[in-house]
Amino acid sequence: MLLNLRKGSIEDELSRFFEVLHDQPLAEMVTPSAFFQARKKLNPRALLGRNRPLLEGFQRHFSVRAR
């Protein structure tokens, strides 16, 4: 969910995420505040490591335009 480009409110994204993950709405159990508190505990290096393959795949398929 963190790597997904958000298209709505945190509540909406949490709802969609748990519906897909568990095939039922569970977001009532996860408040936006709880989500942000948990996110603050993540190690930034872990996110960089997860993001690197996405960026490399993007760069392989799309050329970067010079300004």
Give the integer Cα–Cα distance in Å for 54 and 3: 9
pLDDT value at position 4? Answer: 64
Residue 60, pLDDT above cutoff 70 = yes
pLDDT value at position 13? Answer: 79
What three-state secondary structure class fits 51? helix
Position 5: which residue type?
A: L
37-41: long-range pairs with CB below 8 Å, 24+:
39/2
Percent of the chain topping pLDDT 70? 75
Give the integer Cα–Cα distance in Å for 21 and 25: 9
Task: Grade residue 3 by pLDDT with cuts at 50, 70 and 90.
Answer: low
pTM over 0.85: no
